[in-house]
Structure 1
């Protein structure tokens, strides 16, 4: 295991109210690969939140008046700085949450892509002429920033989930106060440092780490000056924020849980489909909201497909996420590992078989696992796993596959493999999901200009592209009478 000693991390101060600040209390950030602390960061309080809101209100008055083209130039410099600090950002993300460094390097590109797109789009934010029914009137619309934004981001994409929210908000002329995940606050602080270095004005992007998310969040939900909340995380927390936002009628974007089905039909390219399942299921140790959670395979090819999937899964290297040779790293924390173990044991107790894996290797490292003969009603078929386990279920007909796939409270992402063009269209249209990949296990890799978001209990609103930018804009209609 690579040692963390002699690798000091200095990004430990919060940034709010115009300064980098230490707080009376702090909390440790733990590397999941070893259990060692990599540093202690400021632990912000509700009073700090109130200071940040006041500072954001002042910053908004100036930032919203900055020419959108100039805002885009600052965003472009921010984008360039991410690449200048690529290795440092990648290593920090791996230290914070255990994602293999080959993936965190890719995440820097992913995060920067949202900044680049929004930098180019900022200067195009405008209104439009509206034809009026009366000769003496002229109409037009004007796009204006929503205002102060409170953002809550998860640990599984410490950089990408921030820029996917901050870049469109800043491009639109909003200002943002960010509460990063407790497991990965240092990446957020690093990004804020680079934003300021790029020329971002003070208090346009503030970062307040905390170990008490509910307490820190309360002032933001209560304050009418905060006009928008954007959250990526669990459906349970999303429901709470949705209810709280109603009191002050805030704009809300919620990207919540997923339980992605992957349908493999008998006419599919089985080798390619299996590779795509592995790529979707096991990246970031299965800890992504769009990871494949349920694999449904048509009976005629179930044995062949499962054999390929088992072989490819067995080839994955589980180990130190700081090594370039590692494919799968640790899960982020013990609670996540406990959930994975509980789901696997439940499935095994109901008659499932682990064709590969099925156990904890050590620490927070769970073996990449394939389960077959998974019984209906198993926990793993009803609950999001967030771990490196692929349950395989056999189906007979297209209708049965769609029924099984849609039998979920979630509707974020779904996948299907088939060579039948008519079936591809039928399945794509019938799947009740916001993102559908047909013969494509990574449809969101086309970011940053495509919409990302879910249906049902997977959230409201979209991120990415013009859809994501519009989440931070208000439309004002202006009617002018002329003589």
Structure 2
């Protein structure tokens, strides 16, 4: 049975203004999983108007009430874990373990949002007049334009709105066309059930052909005060430019070309397991996925042989099968791109150690390459699929140089038995996140999450998220009537 969903505006499920719909496809079967409302500019205006009406009442809502809503939402989402597993399998090809991780982390993001509700809202400042009170006060901004991607739909859909709402903003969420339910409408359902007032969160889904117009209308609306975007660097450049043209701040979390450094003293059994997880979880479709493994020459061949053997044994197939580790890519064009990157590299001299070959629809085998050089596209471009490159290095300095030789800067891992050595290298890596003793894929809702360079700017998580989605005002209270020169 095909699921049918409408827009979520002002606390109600409503059809698009022109009653248009669009298809939401299952990437594994190619069949229609759902039809959703295809919102347009008029629907964006309706949603923003609803969010603006809800803003002041929501910002004035008692902290205990707001906290209670987010805590209830976390429990509701966890109780729907089995539903999320089924939804993500059909909508984005996510395997069971990835869907359950999405559920657990998103629930904890909601709990972290509940915790920030009662964080201090300002500080008292030193001031020249002895009897004057001078304060820096943090206040919500207003309506937030939020954009969520498909690849970690429940995590990133939740992250796009949880802290912004918790600190008193309202939001209009535009979810990915590839995951309109998991990265948007599901989250609205959970928060509505938890008691979120009408208009505080609104969700506008759209057809792929209308995406640019819907985004531009949302960002340009004068009632929208900030933009929050997670997605590709290509689209992020457009979003950031549009926000700047409208003189609105933005948080952008974009692509990555992440490296794991395997040093000569690393535990190779652990390194193989860590890299396999970091490179192939969710078929490599995570902004934190390990694209490059930089291995010291003394252990490179042994490491590569072990990695290739493990990767060759990973179960591929139907994401609805509980045993599947590597499911499909999100679209045939995504699988074709990975296949082309690998084929071009092999034609230029790279060696396939596991996987490779042609795609089958949206599926591509988990692949390990070595012999990759800087002239190859796969050396420079984010793979965003089930492939990893192993690059041999002579020493730590060369590993750091190659790791930093990219336009991106999200995360890195350093696998070593010497923590001091690992921390010394971490200081030299130009990424927003570094994990010493681990691979690249990790996330905690209370930690500052974000990157540098073309990975974007701004941080999510804990007090950094509060800083990002509030404005600081200077407020003074005079202790006496001032004396003026005229």
Retained in 1: the 8 A contact 2:335–2:361?
no
CA distance in 2, matches of 1:277, 1:70: 43
**Residues 116 and 462, structure 2, Cα contact 8 Å, conserved in 1:** no
Hey, what's the Cα distance between the residues in 2 that align with 1:219 and 1:364? 32
CA contact (8 A) 1:94 1:322 kept: yes
Residues in 1 aligned to 2:244 and 2:354: alpha-carbon distance in whole angstroms? 47
8 Å CA contact 1:103, 1:284 repeated in 2: yes
SS state of the match for residue 57, structure 1?
helix
- 42, 46, 59: which is aligned to 2:41? 46
Superposed counterparts of 1:433-472, under 5 Å: 433-442=431-440, 444-445=442-443, 447-472=444-469
Q: How many residues align?
A: 475
**Structure 2 Cα separation of the partners of residues 85 and 18 of structure 1:** 20
TM-aligned CA deviation for residue 143 of structure 1: 1.7
Please give the alpha-carbon distance, in whole angstroms, between the structure 1 residues aligned to 2:275 and 2:371: 17
**Deviation (angstroms), 1:362:** 2.7
SS of alignment partner, residue 261 of structure 2: strand
Deviation at 1:131, TM superposition (A): 2.6
Map of 1:3 onto structure 2:
none
| 2:28 is equivalent to residue 33 of structure 1 | yes
Sort the Cα spacing of 1:443 and 1:294 in 2 relative to 1 into closer, same or farther, 3 A. Answer: closer
1:129-176, Cα deviation, whole Å (9 max, x unpaired):
223222121112222101100011110011100111211011100001
- Equivalent position of 2:204 in the other structure: 208
CA offsets, 1:9-43, max 9 Å, x none? 34x11111442112321111111111111111000
Counterpart residue number, 1:183 = 178
How far, CA to CA, are the matches of 1:44 and 1:419 in structure 2?
A: 53
TM-superposition CA deviations, 1:46-102 (whole Å, max 9, x none): 111011111111011211111122111111111111012111122112211001022
Q: Give ranges in structure 2 of 5+ residues lacking alignment.
A: 481-486
CA distance in 2, matches of 1:149, 1:297: 43
Aligned partners of 1:68 and 1:172 also within 8 Å: no
Q: Deviations over 1:374-402 (max 9, x none)?
A: 23311111000011011111111211111
Q: In structure 1, which of residues 124, 128, 142 is the aligned counterpart of residue 123 of structure 2?
A: 128
Q: Which blocks of at least 5 consecutive residues in structure 1 are unaligned? A: 1-5
Is the Cα contact below 8 Å between 1:125 and 1:172 reproduced in 2? no
Moved over 4 A (4+): none
Please report how far the alpha carbon of residue 247 of structure 1 lies from its aligned counterpart in structure 2 after TM superposition.
2.8
Q: Is the 8 A contact 2:51 2:143 kept in 1?
A: yes
Question: Residue 452 of structure 1: SS of its match in structure 2?
Answer: coil
Q: Deviations for 1:221-273, whole angstroms, at most 9, x for unmatched residues?
A: 22221001000111121111212112332120000110001111111111111
Cα displacement (A) at 1:310: 0.8
Q: Which residue of 2 is the match for residue 306 of structure 1?
A: 304
> Please, which of 21, 25, 34 is the counterpart of residue 14 of structure 2?
21
Give the TM-score of the pair, scaled to structure 2: 0.95
Cα distance, 1:442 vs structure 2: 4.8
Q: How does 1:167-316 map to 2 (within 5 A)?
A: 167-187=162-182, 188-211=184-207, 212-316=210-314
